[in-house]
Structures are given as structure tokens and as C-alpha cells.
Structure 1
Amino acid sequence: YPTGVTALKDISIKVCEGEFVAIMGRNASGKTTLVKHISGLLRPTKGMVLVDGIDTRRATIAELAKKVGFVFQNPNDHLFADTVEEEIAFTLKNLGGNGGEVKSRVDEILERFNIKEYRKQYPRYLSGGEKQRIALASVIIAQPRVLILDEPTRGMDYGLKSQLMAFLNEYRSQGNTVILVTHDVEMVAEHADRVILMSEGKVVVDDNKREVLSKALLFSPQINRLVQAFTEYGVPEDVLTVDEALDLLP
């Protein structure tokens, strides 16, 4: 950074097509800085970041936007247009979409995210959950192969979280990659394949979710902490979800 702070140190990771990766860690551990480098919003001062073989140091934002979609932690950081319809159409227009294609895709996305009734409304006047859906829709319309979300569930109730995760799982099932920055260990336990833990700008753990969440006390789900008390009776120590715990009952 211009202040002289080195935000990322000695990082070497590879994320594969179709993975659902959660990046976790305390505040200011480097999580957001890392994903901004993957998306091209920040460029590395040392080393390189490759996205589908493209060196982000040499690629334009437009080139990277076709590959990577980034949903900011605060949906207000996305919103600038006068209507929801214009907000969602902007990315596709910016990537060269023609009028007919843009209208068709906007109609499809409005329907998919259940925001059709807001198409002519000013986005910033809507609720937090509605703004979050609009922000996600404005990114998804470009159909990026890699979708990055920075703390997307903050302020969401259980119902909205469930809807978001259902969408992300469907999106991943189509061969796309999902990278999620989050503190929500229960959600990670339920949906992620792999967990990257960061501390002070470094990757300290990078492994499958079962290995990480069952051994990292600060980042283990509540049900895992509970079953740890019963491991001497033969209960597996890597139980991560309530459903898994229920399956152990006679």
C-alpha cells in the first residue's frame, strides 16, 4: 500500500474450476486484499496473479470482468444508477452487449432474483437485503466463471442466507468457482469445500473444510465444539453440521 504496509506476504495458492472456497481470518488479516488481487481491483507489486492464464498485471479491467465477478461487502459500493434496471444492465452494456441481448438478460436476472417489482425504483432507497440482491444481480449478469463475495451475508436473516447459498451452490454446480470471504463458520461448514485461514497477511492454513474447522477452535462451528466433549465415546471429532450429528444417533 502507499503507506508502506505490506498487506500480503509469501502467498501461493491455487483455486480450481468448480471449487467453493471460503477465506476466513480475523479482521485486517488480509482477506479482502487477497480477493481484490484475484479480481484485478488491486495489482501485485511483487509476484503475479493468474486468472484463467491471464496475468492480472497486464490485463484490463474489462478483460478481467469477463472472468471474475466481485460483490463488495457493502452493497452501496455497487449502486450508482437511477433505477434497478439500469444498475443491472450497466455491466453488460459496458462489456459490449447489444440492446436486445441486454434487455433479455436484465429481464431474466430480475425474475431470478425476485426483484422485478423494483426495476424502476432508485436502488439506494431499498432495504439492505434488496440492495444485496441487486448488487449480486449486477455482477452475475456478466456470467463470470469466478464469483467472489466479500462478507455477503452480513445483516442477512436465516431466510436470506439460505436463498443466497442455494443460488451459490447452483452457480457452482454449473462449473463456476465461488470464493467467499466470511466469518460465518456455520455457513462454511455447510457449503464450502475448502477453507483458507489468514493471519497478518499470510495464509496459515489451506485445507479441506473438515480438516480445518474441526481443529481450529476459533473457526469451528458450534456443533463441532459440542461433539468434541464426546469423542472419548467414539463420536467422530470432525462432525461439522447438525445433520451430521443427527445421523450419529441410534
Structure 2
Amino acid sequence: MEPYISVKNVSHVYPNGVTAIKEINLDIYEGEVVAILGSNGSGKTTLVKHFNGLLKPTKGEIIVGGLKTKKERIAKLSSLVGYVFQNPNHQTFLPTVSQELAYGCKNLKMAEEEIEERVAKAVELFEFQDILDENPFDLNSSQRKEVAMASIMAISPKVIVLDEPTTGQDHQGCKRILDLVRMFKEQGRIVVLITHDMNLIGELNCRTVVMNQSQKIADDRADRVFANKGIMDEAGLQPPQITSFANEISSLAHDRTYLTVDQIIDWIQTKEDIKIGTGS
């Protein structure tokens, strides 16, 4: 199977001479959820901004949906890769939610009937029926983040990039983000997460790419990455709190990595079932 996004020996040097990413190779396939982790300045955001043409490689090549990004305009690539910024205020600027949802489609010069259909689907999906006439800046941070996501969803790109999606979110907002990521995956979309939220990655246990000092140093499933103390220390990352907690419980099996509370509960219940079954 051909990758939908192919990063081939890509480096990027900013005009001030700083090398932000160096010789990155990465293939991302349809239906994947991929988390890009790393401390500040590791190069993760620079890498992902190449996917929709916000940045162009200084060296190497990126192919998205069969298109070489160096040769394509951002407008065309944005129809394939939707980018939801960390701060929704950076991409919401129209006076009503309904106008915001339609803007991207209009910018891509879609037919009016198609725009109405896509906006209607986004409204239904995010349950925006009661806030369509609201100014996005009058909404709370969770709602503004969802308006930004919905405006991208209306365009219906194959790839959805979420930059620090849980930042500023309460518990309910974080759960909503988790549910949305799972829904996007079920729809067959590629989801790329730039995040410091280890709990979110633990819940998803998705493919995890770790960046450090402009280079890719790991690419594996989250439970395997989090179990690799050398990689985590090198990147200056900490596993989810529940993982660290589980490591301190001697009665748990230490040949596996616990990423969620539910996994610990399942282990305890399994042990209890074994005890009951053996009569011990």
C-alpha cells in the first residue's frame, strides 16, 4: 500500500540559519492516527507544517496524496490537509459560526449547494444548531476549538492536523477531543496530533513519532515508546501519570505498559477472576 504522506530525507533551515528538522523520513498511511511528540524546539511543528505547504523543504521531498508539496499552492494542499491551530483565535475571524463553517469551502470555490450540504453535515456532527448565529469569540474555549475543527471538517480533507488540541480544555473538553479523534479515524481519515498530552496519547495508544533536536528518534506504538526509558529521557518526556503510578505497584505485571486506568482495572479484575476460578 502506498503512503498518503511520504516524507523523504527532508530538512528545513529557517532564514536565520537555524536547522529546524534534519533528514526526516516518515510514511503515513490512510486510517492512521499519528502523534508527533517532542519538547519545545524539537522540530515537531515545523515538520507537520510541511504537510499542507505552510513550509517547503529546504532539502528532500514531501508527497501528499500524490502531489509534490514543493510544486503546489497552499490552497490546493489545504483541501487535502486541514490544520487546526493550537489557538482557535488564529483561524476564526468571521462574525458568526455559520459563516466560519462555510468560509473554507467558499475559499475553495465549491458550488453553493455543496457548501450548504457540507456545512449542514458539520452542524449535525458537532451539534451546533443552537449557536450558528453566535460570534465565535463569544463562545468558550472548548466551543471555539470545536468551531475551528468543524470548519476544517466541512472542507472534508483526508488529513486532519490537530495542534495541541487539549490545551486549555477541561476534563469534558479533553474527552470530547478524544471522541472526535476516534470518530475521524472511523471515517477513514488520517489524524496527526502535535501534542504534549501524554494522557491523550495513552488513551489512543496510537503510532507515536518522537522528535528531539530536529531529528526523529522513535516511531512505534505509544505503549512501546513509553516503555523505552532511554528514548523518553533523551527527548525529555514523561509517560502518562497512570503509567508512572502503575510502575510503582508491585502486584501489576511489569512485562506490559499500562496507559490508562481502565487497563489497570482490567488487570485487577482478571486476577480476581483467576482467584475465584481456582478457589484461592
Structure 2 length as normaliser, TM-score?
Answer: 0.84
> Please, which runs of 5 or more residues in structure 2 have no aligned partner?
1-13, 273-280
Out of 108, 121, 126, the position equivalent to 1:95 is: 108
Query: 1:234, 1:194 → 2: CA distance?
Result: 23
Q: Which residue of 2 aligns with 1:115?
A: 128
Range that drifts further, 216-225 or 144-153: 216-225
Q: Which residue of 2 aligns with 1:11?
A: 24
The letter for the 2-side match of 1:93 is: K
Q: Deviations over 1:180-235 (max 9, x none)?
A: 01111111011142111111211111111111012236331122212223468744
2:167 pairs with 1:154: yes
Q: Deviations over 1:125-148 (max 9, x none)?
A: 222111111111111111111110
User: What is the deviation of 1:108?
Assistant: 2.5
The letter for the 1-side match of 2:27 is: K
Query: 1:177, 1:114 → 2: CA distance?
Result: 23
| Percent of matched pairs sharing the same residue | 38
RMSD over aligned Cα atoms: 1.6
Range that drifts further, 13-22 or 92-101: 92-101
User: What is the deviation of 1:22?
Assistant: 0.7
Change (3 A) 1:231 1:11: farther
2:247 pairs with 1:247: no
Q: Contact (CA 8 Å) 2:252, 2:267: kept in 1 or not?
A: no
The 3-state SS of whatever aligns with 2:41 is: coil
Q: Higher strand proportion, which one?
A: 2
Q: Contact (CA 8 Å) 1:32, 1:181: kept in 2 or not?
A: yes
User: What is the deviation of 1:104?
Assistant: 2.6
The letter for the 2-side match of 1:182 is: T
Query: 1:117, 1:76 → 2: CA distance?
Result: 21
Q: Contact (CA 8 Å) 1:214, 1:239: kept in 2 or not?
A: no
How does 1:188-203 map onto structure 2 within 5 Å? 188-203=201-216
Range that drifts further, 189-198 or 68-77: 189-198
> Please, which runs of 5 or more residues in structure 1 have no aligned partner?
none
2:93 pairs with 1:80: yes
Query: 1:128, 1:232 → 2: CA distance?
Result: 41
Change (3 A) 1:66 1:86: same
The higher radius of gyration belongs to: 2
Query: 1:225, 1:68 → 2: CA distance?
Result: 35
Q: Contact (CA 8 Å) 2:118, 2:155: kept in 1 or not?
A: no
Range that drifts further, 227-236 or 208-217: 227-236
The letter for the 2-side match of 1:62 is: A
Q: Contact (CA 8 Å) 1:22, 1:192: kept in 2 or not?
A: no
Change (3 A) 1:130 1:221: same
How does 1:121-140 map onto structure 2 within 5 Å? 121-140=134-153
Query: 1:173, 1:108 → 2: CA distance?
Result: 16
Q: Deviations over 1:85-139 (max 9, x none)?
A: 1111011112222222212322331232122222122222222111111111111
Change (3 A) 1:146 1:235: same
Query: 1:190, 1:40 → 2: CA distance?
Result: 30
Range that drifts further, 93-102 or 43-52: 93-102
Q: Deviations over 1:29-85 (max 9, x none)?
A: 111111101121111111111112211000122221221110001101101212211
The letter for the 2-side match of 1:85 is: S
Change (3 A) 1:125 1:203: same
Q: Contact (CA 8 Å) 1:224, 1:237: kept in 2 or not?
A: no
Q: Contact (CA 8 Å) 2:246, 2:252: kept in 1 or not?
A: no
The 3-state SS of whatever aligns with 1:175 is: coil
Query: 2:133, 2:249 → 1: CA distance?
Result: 56
2:214 pairs with 1:174: no
Q: Which residue of 1 aligns with 2:5?
A: none
